[in-house]
Amino acid sequence: MISICFVPCNNGLGHIRRMAFLANKISNQNMKIFFFIEKKKQKKFKLHKNINKIYFKTNSLNYLSKIFQNRFLKTSDIIVSDNLIHKKFILKKTVLFANFLWEEILKINKKNLKILKNKNIKIFSNYLFSNIKSKVNIKKVGFFDQYRSLKKSNAILIGTGSARSKLLKKFKKNITKIIKNNGFRKKKIYLDPSIYSEELKKYSVFEASYSDKMYSQISFAMIKPGLGTIEECLKRGIPIIPVMGDENNEFKFNTEILKKKKLGFVFENPVEGVNFINKNFNNIIFLNKYKKRCKNLRWNGEKNLLIDLNKLTY
């Protein structure tokens, strides 16, 4: 029986979501699947019961090296990973999903470029949000899953991610002030756990869970533009207002793409973004045009990865 290990990058839920989506797609085949994940994060993803969960802790800088000491990974036939580069990938058949972050890593460490050119490694990336300029053989694919326009939604998502920064502190202060001053005009708000507090409950604010149930209620999203959250919004036709886009080069690039493709609406400050949401919250013409643009994006990108993954099993 073929053994496959899924090793997602632990820096953000989007990486884990992509790998969980792929693992579930092949879980009914005659394969032994192992999925490496933090126990506290496993609750957020519905992994099929026949997928073996390997729990690990990330409270040390060398957690990735510890993963590669795991006996299941050592004996596996194939590795599937998201946004990670490791020298031991070249020892096995490996399928990788990459995005912008790699370009910075490749500039710092040329050894990583040599790893990615190894014949055992097949690399994929999203066709829009990929800025890898180094000479690596990459297949660009559509967004994962299929487009599923929401019929009715009535809430706003404010997602900032968990990374601590000066931008997050400033944004938290500004958005909290807007909420308390009824800037959202009493709309229901799902607020990122990193800035949520119990005192905001009385303003119709709830802690964001990033579940399917939560996304099904979202009309607009003010989000830090990581690929995972972007993908979740686009596949439901949820207009995006990127925030904290200057936090790093990846988010700057993603913000530029969103603006260029008319999938994101960029403003100088949160007040302008909130005013834009209030103005268009029930604007049927605006919302229908946006949903049409989302529908016309390339979807079901996972099929390309699964085709190559199936080829490796024979």
What residues have CB less than 8 Å from 256, skipping those under 6 apart? none
Higher-confidence position of 247 and 48:
48
How confident is residue 85, by pLDDT bands cut at 50, 70 and 90?
confident
Spatial distance between the Cα atoms of 95 and 141, rounded to a whole number of angstroms: 14
Domain parsing of the chain, residue ranges: 2-144+299-312, 155-295
Is the entire prediction scored with pTM above 0.85?
Answer: yes
Name the fold adopted by 2-144+299-312.
Rossmann fold (3.40.50)
Q: How far apart are CA 10 and CA 273, in angstroms?
A: 30
- Percent of the residues in the chain that have a pLDDT greater than 70, as a whole number: 94
Cα 267 to Cα 185: distance, rounded to the nearest angstrom: 19
205 pLDDT higher than 60 = yes
Q: Top-level CATH class of 155-295?
A: alpha beta
Q: 3-class secondary structure for 212-270?
A: HHHHCCEEEEEECCCHHHHHHHHCCCCCEEECCCCCCHHHHHHHHHHHHCCCECCCCCH
Binned at pLDDT 50, 70 and 90, residue 103 comes out as low
Contacts of 87 (CB under 8 A, 6+ apart): 111, 115
- Please tell me if the domain spanning 2-144+299-312 has the same topology as the one spanning 155-295: yes
* 3-state SS assignment for residue 74: helix
pLDDT for res 9: 84
68: confidence class by pLDDT, cuts 50, 70, 90: confident
Average pLDDT estimate for 288-303: 96
